[in-house]
């Protein structure tokens, strides 16, 4: 991995160069627009046609059968089922804590004002296929939707060459009681969920990660449906001082890099000797990892070690980078973590690896990427809910508000707005 020296004056330039290299424009939008338009016009036949072209699969049925789901649940090893249940319990507990109650209060004029929270009716959850299976992503998307009270949850996941959805995905979905699973993927799945077809019902919100075509499709259908985010490659930044363990840092960087060759892994330290130790450990450990090709490509293309001239510069760098995952391994990690404004999830101390958050601890692992942690939040119960404002005025309360409302309406030139108040009072 490259080693880069920064000061508080050069941090922004380093981040800009990194993002310009890493976020190179991918020529996906024209293709995705064509797929979306085709699905809007031709519905199911377009979904079948694009699935055959892109996945080399002839779809007879879009829906996974109840028998396939039950078989996947029964085939899970008992030890894995127990781990799945433990993770489910932790994730459920964390997301239940996010719920808030409706509220109503009365103003001194006698008006009743309030707000209430209601779930969306139907959601589509995209679970990637391809190189790996992601049962943890099933849990992280389905559980908050269930906690929110969503009436209907539909999963879409791309088919294998045999036309089946990965049994690990089916098993996790079946374990959570999900029986509506589509064997379609890519931009055609996002378009079908967003606009509806004869077979696929139109949803209100689409969540879940995917490749550049899925991310672009979500971006293009936003407004027709809600989305969680436009997810980019997975990222980690590790902030460490001379007290950290370089082996822990190296293995966590490798763990992030093994996602795929586009993953981003960055270490930020105030110690040159620590930077050199991390580099040595990475060279040693990466040779032994089974996914070493992806790891080596990721670390070579997108990974680097930053040596900051002070802890202040290191913290500034992290806040400007706004990483998806941040690990803090310093002498006083809690105090450092308090100064981090921009990160999707913060893992404090040497015994808090990202893997805990990926699978088991409870907080959601669907996090803002590509610097969007400056303004975006992790997937949560609120992704699947909306807030409604509620107003109830009596005649007396309306009379108390009439003058001020009329003044605003006349100032803005909306005379019927003023009439809508005054006619009621004259009636």
What's the chain's length in residues?
427
Nearest to 139 by CA among 62, 72, 193, 207: 207
217 Cβ neighbours under 8 A, 6+ residues apart? 32, 35, 36, 186, 187, 190, 191
Catalytic residue list: 324-325
The rounded distance, in Å, linking the Cα atoms of 1 and 9 is 23
Tell me, letter by letter, the H, E, C secondary structure of 147-197. Answer: HHCCCEEEEECCCCCCCCCCHHHHHHHHHCCCCCEECCCHHHHHHHHHHCC
The rounded distance, in Å, linking the Cα atoms of 373 and 135 is 25
CA-derived radius of gyration, the chain: 25
The rounded distance, in Å, linking the Cα atoms of 156 and 8 is 45
Task: Determine how many CB atoms are found less than 10 A away from the CB of residue 415.
Answer: 11
Helices 29-42 and 186-195 sit at what angle, rounded to 10 degrees?
A: 50
Residue pair 185/55 in contact by the 8 Å Cβ criterion: yes
Residue with structure tokens 């992601």?
134
CA distances from 45 to 14, 93, 124, 154, 218 (A): 48, 42, 20, 20, 21
């Amino acid at each position: 991995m490259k080693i880069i020296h920064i000061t508080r004056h050069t941090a922004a330039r380093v981040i800009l160069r990194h993002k310009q290299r890493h976020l190179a424009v991918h020529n996906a939008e024209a293709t995705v627009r064509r797929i979306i338009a085709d699905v809007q016009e031709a519905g199911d036949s377009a979904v079948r046609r694009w699935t055959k072209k892109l996945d080399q699969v002839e779809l007879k049925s879009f829906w996974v059968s109840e028998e396939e789901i039950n078989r996947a649940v029964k085939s899970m090893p008992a030890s894995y089922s127990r781990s799945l249940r433990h993770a489910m319990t932790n994730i459920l507990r964390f997301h239940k804590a996010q719920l808030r109650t409706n509220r109503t209060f009365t103003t001194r004029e006698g008006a009743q004002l309030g707000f209430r929270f209601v779930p969306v009716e139907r959601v589509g959850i995209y679970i990637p296929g391809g190189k790996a299976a992601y049962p943890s992503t099933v849990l992280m998307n389905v559980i908050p939707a269930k906690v929110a009270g969503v009436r209907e949850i539909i999963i879409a996941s791309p088919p294998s060459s045999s036309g089946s959805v990965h049994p690990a995905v089916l098993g996790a979905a079946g374990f959570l009681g999900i029986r509506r699973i589509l064997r379609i993927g890519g931009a055609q799945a996002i378009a079908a969920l967003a606009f509806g077809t004869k077979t696929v019902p139109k949803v209100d919100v689409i969540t879940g990660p995917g490749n550049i075509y899925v991310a672009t499709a979500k971006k293009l259908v936003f407004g027709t449906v809600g989305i969680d985010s436009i997810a980019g490659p997975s990222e980690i930044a590790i902030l460490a001082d001379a007290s950290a363990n370089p082996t822990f840092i190296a293995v966590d960087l490798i763990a992030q890099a093994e996602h795929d060759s586009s993953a981003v892994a960055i270490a930020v330290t105030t110690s040159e000797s620590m930077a050199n130790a991390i580099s040595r450990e990475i060279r040693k450990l990466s040779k032994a990892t089974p996914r070493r090709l992806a790891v080596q490509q990721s670390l070579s293309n997108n990974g680097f070690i930053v040596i900051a001239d002070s802890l202040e510069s290191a913290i500034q760098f992290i806040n400007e980078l706004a990483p998806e995952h941040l690990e803090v391994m310093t002498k006083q990690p809690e105090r450092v973590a308090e100064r981090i404004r921009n990160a999707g999830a913060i893992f404090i101390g040497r015994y808090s690896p990202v893997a805990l958050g990926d699978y088991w601890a409870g907080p959601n692992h669907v996090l803002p990427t590509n610097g969007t942690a400056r303004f975006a939040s992790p997937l949560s119960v609120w992704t699947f809910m909306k807030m409604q404002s509620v107003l109830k005025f009596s005649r007396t309360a309306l009379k108390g508000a009439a003058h001020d409302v009329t003044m605003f309406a006349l100032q803005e030139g909306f005379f019927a707005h003023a009439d809508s108040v005054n006619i009621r009072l004259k009636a």
